[in-house]
A and B are shown apart, each in its own frame.
Chain A
Amino acid sequence: MPDNVANSPLLEVDDLRTTFTIPTGDVKAVRGVSFTLDRGRTLGIVGESGSGKTVLARSIMRLNLGTNVTTTGTAAFDGNDVLTRSPSEMRQLWGSEMAMVFQDPMTSLNPLVRVQRQVTEHLCRHLNLNRSEARQAAVDLLREVRIPDPDTRLRSFPHELSGGMRQRVCIAVALACEPSLLFADEPTTALDVTVQHQILNLLSREQADREMAMVLVTHDLGVVAGRTDDTMVMYAGTVAEYAPTVSLFADMRHPYSEALMRSIPLTSFPSHTRLAAITGRPPDLIDPPTGCAFSPRCPYVQDHCVNEAPPLVEIDDPAHRLACWTPVGSPEALTAFEKNLAAGLPQAVAVDVSTTWSPTGGVDG
């Protein structure tokens, strides 16, 4: 790594937009996202299903498949835009500089290839290791991600491993060439609850040990709490709120962040309880609303919100950025909420009901 770029941020994304052209129109999956990530830091990207988290991560990695995808803006990695790099330049970055752990470990390993080749094949390419060196490296890697009996496991096929083991293998694959940036795209969504914490802790530990930057994508605010330096809340392809994780949890200002917070399952609840799911559905990305994308579902919505989209601006703390006309907690928001509740707006009523539930009082069904 040349010294002159060492003080620039590792990743600097500016006005990134990704569109898929499909027969019924253009799906604007990411609509102008900007953020920076410094070396060794962690960023959590949170949003419900369809908010564009995966597309954003894959756009930066240049891993969106198909010929119907257009990405504009810049994503500077080490000071150089990756979006303009050639495929062979990307192959130099993939694996060795940027790596990715995918959502579903059941499908992200090739079912017909033994673990050994899947862990070592890119080692040989990037690090010029010979077979026995690569094998030794693979054993060390599996040991590092806490897979018992690595020698046997290397000879296994993916279907012979449990979901958690497979995700550990995927993490080993991603870590193998010591990347400086790791994307983890909902790495635990497909796993048992008991395994989720182990995998998240493993990722955090590796991230810290290797001083590697990490982007942790999740739909669960509870996952980023205490695990990432910064958190970005995404809604319908845009950034709703961006803040250091600590300040975000201390002072959650976006109505959508607040709604996500309400939907975190508390451990004292029965595991099947679906909590305060956000009323309504995400907007149509082919023809998104002109005003605030969250306005059709926002309990604080006012006429202004429907007509004009709020810009992402800094509030009080310069590191805390927000895209909302009337942040949660402001007197205007309270007035708007009272008004919407009186008018019987479903999302306002739902919030009103759910706030009367108390976690300690218990919930039935």
Chain B
Amino acid sequence: MIVLARRLVQLVAVVLAATFLTFTAMNTLGDPLFNVVGFVAAVDCDAVEAGEIEDISGQGGTSLGDCAVVAEAREEFHLNEPLPIRYGRWVGDLIRGDFGTSFKNRMPVSTVLADRLPKSLLLMGMAEVFAVALSVPWALAAAYRANRAMDRASTIGAFGMLALPNFALGVILFYFFVVKWQIFPSRFEDDNLAVRLKSLVLPALTLGMPLAATYFRLLRTDLITTLQEDFVVMAKAKGLSNRWIMFRHALRPSMFSLVTVFGLNTAALIGGALIVEQIFSIPGLGRALVEASIRDDYPVVLGATVVIATGFVAINFAVDLVYSYLDPRVRRES
């Protein structure tokens, strides 16, 4: 119970810190009105009124009429108020469950998130399933015969996979499986779960392969260390089979760094798969976030920030739970 309360405090702190930074940055570095009223947002309307700037209405330039629009928008989005008050207002809305409205098409941010997040989560989940399903048996096989041919080849393969930029793998897969052989759809299809899963296979592979290479390296190294432990010699001296020793004695104590990195990667994937989302035309959270950032559509950026920060804290918590499942010595302390 105390653990849960501590996590909640952590969640609030992380969300507040992340959103405050984002909010400040987006309002001082960018121009939130740009998407609402277009180029005129940048115009110094006081100067126009004072006649210091030429009124060239209708020529794509500035007019007094445009300035009225700007003033109206400022009013609507409370942009006249000082930053801290606006941030406070935003937090207040958030507590009431209101994420605000996107500047772009005046859609509620919550609708945008509800549309984008599930796709990103599905992609993330599939990528991690591929990565784990590939890396764990691979690492077990390589560590069992460490430094033999198969292990050496695997190490080279893993480094190759890590060296290949993410988009390169994506483009290669896209070329062969979509363009050439037309096995998979060229863009995300949303009709039913089966179709959704199918159109996410390639993007998930693109994300999952480098992850698999990372997990492979970590788990292999830790397995090799564990296999030197006295308790492994003792298990051998009991006449247990190699398979049993690998799975029932060596695997679990070797998973700690894997679990840590797995958690970090998973959290990073929630909103961070934008390149792959771009290549495979998936309307995921990553793309929404990038598009919104470019347009200074800060309600959307903030909404996404809340989701991602929450994801980080939740995954952190999950990782700790897995730790205590793996290691009884941790279990007692918590």
Contacts and interface: CB of A to CB of B under 8 A. Distances in A.
Interface string A110-147: 11110001000110011000000000000000000000
Contacts of A313: none
A102 B228 CA distance: 14
Interface in B220-273: 227-231, 233-242, 244, 248-249, 252-253
A157 interface: yes
Nearest to B147: A67
A66 to B, nearest CB: 8
A108 B234 contact: yes
Name the residue among A92, A96, A112, A173 with the largest chain B CB count within 10 angstroms: A112
A159 B329 contact: yes
B238 A112 contact: no
B229 A121 contact: no
A99 interface: yes
B328 interface: yes
Contacts of B239: 90-96, 122, 125-126, 177
B236 to A, nearest CB: 6
Most chain A beta carbons < 10 A, residue from B227, B240, B242? B240
With a 10 A CB-CB cut-off, give which of B227, B229, B328 has the most chain A CB atoms: B328
Contacts of B234: 100, 102, 108-109, 170, 173
Nearest to A92: B239
Contacts of B238: 94-95, 99, 121-122, 173
B230 A102 contact: yes
Contacts of B249: 110, 113
Contact of A107 (B231, B241, B252, B327): B231
A99 B237 contact: yes
Identify the interface centre among A91, A109, A110: most chain B CB within 10 Å of its CB: A110
Contacts of A173: 234, 238
A123 to B, nearest CB: 9
Contact of B228 (A65, A94, A125): A65
A102 B233 contact: yes
Given A67-B147, A100-B234, A111-B253, A91 B327 contact: no
Contact of A110 (B231, B236, B329): B231
Contact of B236 (A63, A117, A170): A63
A38 B326 CA distance: 45
A55 interface: no
Nearest to B249: A110
Contacts of B230: 102, 104, 107-108
- Interface majority SS on A: helix, strand, loop or mixed? mixed
A61 interface: yes
Interface in A257-301: none
Contacts of B235: 110
Given A104-B230, A107-B231, A110-B231, A157 B241 contact: no
B326 A112 contact: yes
B237 A65 contact: no
Contacts of A67: 147
A209 to B, nearest CB: 21
Given A111-B253, A112-B327, A65 B241 contact: no
Contacts of B329: 111, 157, 159
Contacts of A95: 237-240
A113 B327 CA distance: 9
Contacts of A159: 328-329
Contacts of B252: 112
Contacts of B240: 91, 95, 121-122, 125
B249 to A, nearest CB: 5
A109 B238 CA distance: 12
A90 B238 CA distance: 10
Interface string B316-334: 0000000000111100000
A170 to B, nearest CB: 7
Contact of A63 (B231, B237, B244): B237
Nearest to A170: B234
Given A65-B228, A159-B329, A94 B233 contact: no
A130 to B, nearest CB: 17
A109 B237 CA distance: 12
A351 B299 CA distance: 86
Contacts of B228: 65
Contacts of A157: 328-329
Nearest to B253: A112
Contacts of B244: 121
Contacts of B242: 87
Listed residue (A98, A113, A173, A174) with the most chain B CB atoms within 10 angstroms of its CB: A113
A93 B236 CA distance: 11
A65 B253 contact: no
A109 B231 contact: yes
Interface in B116-132: none
Interface in A153-173: 157, 159, 170, 173
Interface string B149-193: 000000000000000000000000000000000000000000000
A113 B235 CA distance: 12
Given A94-B238, A107-B229, 17 more contacts: A65-B227, A65-B233, A91-B239, A94-B237, A94-B239, A95-B238, A98-B237, A99-B237, A100-B237, A102-B230, A109-B234, A110-B231, A113-B248, A121-B244, A122-B239, A125-B239, A174-B237
5 A-B pairs with the lowest CB-CB distances in the bound complex, closest first: A95-B239, A94-B239, A122-B238, A107-B230, A108-B230
21 contacts: A63-B236, A65-B228, A91-B241, A95-B237, A95-B238, A100-B234, A104-B230, A108-B231, A108-B234, A109-B231, A109-B234, A110-B231, A110-B249, A111-B253, A111-B329, A112-B253, A112-B327, A113-B249, A121-B248, A159-B328, A170-B234
